Structure formats: C-alpha cells, structure tokens
Amino acid sequence: MATQQINIPDIGDFDSVEVIEVLVAEGDVVAVDDSLVTLESDKATMEIPSPVSGKVTKVTVKVGDSVAEGDYILDIEADEAAAEEAPKADAKKEDPAKEAPKEAPKAEKPAPPPQETKAPAPNVPPVPKPVNAQSMGAAYHASPSVRAFARKLGVDLNAVTGSGPKGRIQQNDVEAMIKSVMQGSAAASGQPQGGAGIPSVPEIDFSQFGETETVELGRIKKISGKFLQTSWLNVPHVTQFDESDITEMDAFRKSMKAQAEKAGVKLTPLVFVMKAVVKALQEFPNFNASLSPDGQSIIKKHYYNIGVAVDTPNGLVVPVVRDVDQKGIFDLSKDLMELSAKARDGKLTPADMSGGCFTISSLGGIGGTQFTPIVNAPEVAIMGLSKAKMQPVWNGAEFEPRLVMPFSVSYDHRVIDGAEGVRFTTTVGQYLTDLRQLIL
C-alpha cells in the first residue's frame, strides 16, 4: 500500500474558498468519488471527491480554513489497485520526450507529491512556506471578489494588511480598514459614524429589557447581506409599480397542464413572465445592460440570461436560466425545476449563478401586495412579482372578475430614467395580458 497526498483540484476562477465541512477523519475508509471536504465560495458550495479508495491517515485542514487549487488537504493510504493505477495515470500525462528509460529501476518509495520540487533531507526540517504576499513577489494577495469589493469602495489594497493564509487579504480586512479610517474621521469631527460617512446604528444592550438570545446569521445571509448593502449604497434605486390582467394567460397555462405533465414538467406563471420580460428587454436594451466601472458608459448585452431568486432553508440564492429567448415554456420549466432542486440541496455551482442580465423575484406563492426588490448589481434592474387575485374590473358596460397580478421593477436611475421605466413595466404588463403579442 502507498500513501497518496490529496490536493484541491481545479475549482474554477477562485483564488481562495472556505472549508465549511470536513467529511472524513483519520482512520476512515473511503471509496473513489466519496466526498472529503465541502468548500463554499461567495456564490456556491462544492464537495471535493476522493480520487482513490483507501484509508485516511492524515487530515491537514479544518473548518474555517481557506484553500485554493493545489493545496494539500489530507493523506490516503491507497488500496493496492489504486496505487498501481496512479503511476500509470501519471505516466500518460508525462511528455514522451521526458520519459525515463524503460529499463530504469523502480523506486521503492512513492514519488514526492507534485507540488514539492525536492524532498527535505533526513533530519533537516523543511523550509516553512512564505507567510506574506510580499515574499511571494506580489504587492498584495486577494481574490477577484475581494479586489472588486475594494474597487467599489475605493480602497487601495496596498494599504490593507491581510489576515488570511499566506497574508491573503480577505473582505473583512477591507472592511476593517474602512472602519478604522472612518473611526479616525469620526474622532476628528466628534461625531460617531459608520462606513462611507453614514451614522452608525447605536449599540443597545437589549437584555436590560428582558430575556434575549443571540443566533448567528447563516453564511449565505452574511454574504448576500453585504452585497445587498453594497448595491443599496451604490445604486440610486427607483421602483415602478404596476399590475397586469393575467386571466387569459392563466387559463392557457391550465389548459396546458396535461401536456406539461406528459413532458414531465410543472408549468408555472413564472415561465410566461420570463418570456414577456425577455421580449421587453429586446425593446428596451438599457434594461439588459450594466454600467461600466467608471460610470461613464453602458455595456449592453446581446444575450438574455434571467436570474430567478429561490428561497432555500439556508437563505436566498439566485441561479441563472440561460438563453431564455431561445427556449420554449416547457424547456424553461425544466430548467427552473432542475435549478430550484440544486438550490434547495445546496448543490449550485458558480457557473449556475453567474452571467445574469436581469433578475426576477417572485413572492406570488406566499402572498403580499407589492414590494421593492433591491437591484442585483451589476445588473441594472430587477422585477418583483406579488400574489395575483381576482378583482372586479370595469369593461365599459359592467364589472367582471379578472385575475390581476401586481408587480414592481426596481432600476438603476443612472442608466434608466423614469419615463423609460414606466414604458418597460407597461410593455411587460401588455405582453402578460395578451400572450399573442409575444410572437409578433
């Protein structure tokens, strides 16, 4: 049997992700593809599978650690079959010109792990890894999301001290930097302030009024809360309210129920809203855009990916349905069912949650009349759907019962003005009232 060192495989465009679960312990026996650890990025969770079967002999990570591609996490004493297959797989990857002669003697011990260039000499302690960004040849070390966060707030990362592994700068380091600067400004002015010069909420000991309990926010709520606050502080929101008569649309949806069941999907009003929104986005391209980082131009998108807010036990997530303009209602229903299931199971990948152009948040299945959704920046608009109800509507001769759905659209006033906002909501409402207009 040979001990194999397990490293973090390719995890996409992430420099650092947090370990939120260690699924094995020393002495556990694992099979190929058994999950070893669970990682969570800003957008999704992912499980790292075992490439070999065998016994776990050492675990080097713990919950809360940050890891990146290539980081060493544990050792597995691989089964004989797995140990024999590993050298074969490595040999296939080698350059034929660099292959050792066939008659070379076999090594009695397993080769050193890929990330080490030389094994330490006997009785000589290994040289410790660099602990700061400067020793790694960089002015600072931070993930793309932290860099983007710092850019939005105008923070120079050269002035921030990283508290993460290898001196990596984390988002809380940037926040601490801003807090220290603002506290200094507040001390100079004699006025308590929060970030960006906003007065902070006073701290109160609520236990003086009665019994209290402190419950930590879930990780998804912590992450989404920061992004929502950033969007609210940076985007000048305007919300336009409207409503649409969806009587005919709902009748058509119900008439297609049997056909939908035969296709293995559940037909909901949301898919019709998605088609109506995309048609309106094609007519009002400013809604299908993003503002450039310098705020001087608009980046218009020629694809139509719609984010759909999904309520999960761990918090709100927004998976993205791609190419909505190219799909029928059954295909969209299938995509929604699959993404919703992955969201509830915590299996969404970063790819599932990226590339959105416009977001829809539907509370119609719960209740309420109207609400003001927060723009999912860097998108410039978001729609909120509320519960439809039967209302008496005057048809010119008498009142008749009609199914009316209220909805709202919040948008970035730097990109979209009020008149365009009203035209957009009116157009969406017309399409939902008469679906035949979608094919014109």
Catalytic residues: 413
Report d(CA 310, CA 357) in Å as an integer.
Answer: 16
> Are 407 and 221 within 8 A, CB to CB?
no
**What SS3 state is found at 213?**
coil
| β-pairing verdict for 358-362 and 381-385 | parallel
In total, the chain counts a number of residues equal to 440
Phi-psi label, residue 196: left if phi above 0, alpha if psi -120 to 50, beta otherwise? left
* Residue 75 and residue 4 in contact, taking contact as beta carbons nearer than 8 Å: yes
Cα separation, 273 vs 332, whole angstroms? 11
CB atoms within 10 A of CB 325: 14
In degrees and rounded to multiples of 5, residue 421 shows phi and psi of -60, -45
Backbone angles phi, psi at 276, to 5 degrees: -65, -40
Collapsing DSSP to helix, strand or coil, 407 comes out as strand
Q: Which two tokens stand for residue 14?
A: 């992430």
Closest CA to 410 of 392, 399, 424: 424
Instruction: Give the whole-angstrom CA distance, residue 156 versus residue 177.
Output: 10
Residues ≥6 apart with Cβ < 8 Å to 45: 20, 38, 39, 346, 347, 348
**CB contact at 8 A, 423 and 429:** no
Q: Both tokens of residue 376?
A: 């999912």
Element (H, E) at 10: none
**Whether the Cβ atoms of residue 385 and residue 273 lie closer than 8 Å to each other:** yes
Of 307, 14, 316, whose CA–CA distance to 146 is shortest?
14
355 conformational bin, left if phi > 0, alpha if psi -120 to 50, beta if neither: left
**For residue 77, what are the β-bridge partners?**
3, 55
Query: Beta strand pairing status for 72-78 and 66-67?
Result: unpaired
